[in-house]
A and B are shown apart, each in its own frame.
Chain A
Amino acid sequence: MVLTAGNILQLPQRAEKTGTEARETFLAYLLPVKKHLYNFVQKASNFSPDADDIFQDTLLKAFRYFHSFDHRKNFKTWIFTIAHNLLKDAFREKQLRHWPVSLEEMGEITANAVSNDVREIYTTAAALKPRHREVFFLYYYNEFTISEIIEITGLTRPNVKFMLHQARKAIKKIMEVQV
């Protein structure tokens, strides 16, 4: 059976398979979230050159422990939790370097967005503490709810709200200056 995002709902409640079948199941789950996960890791790590490694490690670790994933739960939240833990380790061990944000390297910009506005946002986000930046992108880029962010990061609700408030305040200031 070729698994696609379309027939993902027909998957068994718990993946007990090994080998090719397990790989196909995992890739079917991964397909809808892969791009968002990649961009999140890039953004949360300040577009560090280590981001690709963190992304790859996240996927490999997720596959290795795929058997422990409860299929009644949200796969996206589960894999983002793994990414969060690896990012945390990377920040702790390597102290990821801060790289200047290059929008040209980051990818395409939609027609509606003004380049300078976007650049300002990313510059502000880059100045945030790693954990604050993660919460910022989880909320504004990946559009996770506060409850989901709590599940991913293990932070408390007041902490998440405080981090978002701080980021919002900083960005609002920039936006007011621009107006």
Chain B
Amino acid sequence: MKTVNPIKAVDLEIKKRVQAVEQEVPLELEAAFLEKLNKIVPEKSHSRRHPFIYYGVLVTAATVLLVILLFLYPLFHQQINGVEAEEVWVQAARVEGQPASTFIINQKDPDITIVWIEKINYKTEENNEKNH
């Protein structure tokens, strides 16, 4: 024999009693509503973007902004550091046919760059002589 869940039985009984009371929408209320409805202009639907399009636009905008920043960064960077930080490259130097080390001495005047050239084994030979 099938047993009825007591909660379901109570629920059914409550539903039966609650649904016993029901009334139609009064005609005058309905007429008033229809009259108002005719005066209302529904709001135009706003174009709803698909999430994919929405995020796509966001990502594109972010990328464009990033690229612009990357282009602008070196300009700002140079302006901040000024001419003093301009790099000087000395590829190679030779003294008396021998390779020499180069050292760039910092100068505040941007028009002058002093490069110190030193024979590689210069100090070592001098030391050797002293030792002998």
Q: Which A residues form the contact surface with B (CB < 8 A)? A: 14-16, 18-19, 22-23, 26, 34-35, 38-39, 42-43, 52, 55-56, 59-60, 63-68, 103, 106-110, 112-113, 117-118, 121-122, 125, 137, 140-141, 143, 168, 171-172, 175
Segment 1-33 of B: residues with Cβ below 8 Å from A: 7, 10-11, 13-26, 29, 32-33
11 extra interface residue pairs, beta carbon distance < 8 Å, beyond A55-B29, A118-B20: A18-B44, A38-B23, A42-B23, A43-B18, A56-B32, A67-B44, A103-B21, A109-B21, A118-B18, A118-B21, A168-B11
How large, as a class, is the contact surface on chain B?
20 to 34
Closest-by-CB residue of B relative to A53 is: B29
How far, in angstroms, from A66 to B96 measured CA to CA in the complex? Answer: 93
Contact A121 B14 (CB under 8 A): yes
Which listed residue (A16, A106, A137, A172) contacts B10, Cβ 8 A? A172
Indicate if B43 sits at the interface (CB-CB under 8 A): yes
Nearest Cβ distance between residue A108 and chain B, in whole angstroms?
Answer: 7
Nearest Cβ distance between residue A110 and chain B, in whole angstroms?
Answer: 5
Nearest Cβ distance between residue A103 and chain B, in whole angstroms?
Answer: 7
Nearest Cβ distance between residue A37 and chain B, in whole angstroms?
Answer: 9
A18 surroundings in chain B (CB, below 8 A):
41-42, 44
Main secondary structure of the interface of A (DSSP, over half): helix
B24 surroundings in chain A (CB, below 8 A):
35, 107
B33 surroundings in chain A (CB, below 8 A):
56, 59-60
B13 surroundings in chain A (CB, below 8 A):
175
Contact A112 B45 (CB under 8 A): no
Closest-by-CB residue of B relative to A168 is: B10
Sampled A-B contacts (29; CB under 8 Å)? A14-B45, A15-B45, A18-B44, A26-B42, A35-B22, A38-B25, A39-B22, A39-B23, A42-B23, A43-B18, A56-B33, A59-B37, A60-B33, A63-B37, A64-B42, A64-B43, A65-B43, A67-B45, A106-B23, A107-B24, A109-B20, A118-B18, A118-B20, A122-B18, A125-B18, A141-B19, A143-B15, A168-B11, A168-B14
A59 surroundings in chain B (CB, below 8 A):
33, 37
Indicate if B38 sits at the interface (CB-CB under 8 A): yes
B21 surroundings in chain A (CB, below 8 A):
39, 43, 103, 106-107, 109, 118, 122
Contact A67 B42 (CB under 8 A): yes
Which listed residue (B18, B29, B41, B42) contacts A140, Cβ 8 A? B18
B45 surroundings in chain A (CB, below 8 A):
14-16, 67-68
A64 surroundings in chain B (CB, below 8 A):
40, 42-43
A140 surroundings in chain B (CB, below 8 A):
11, 14-15, 18-19
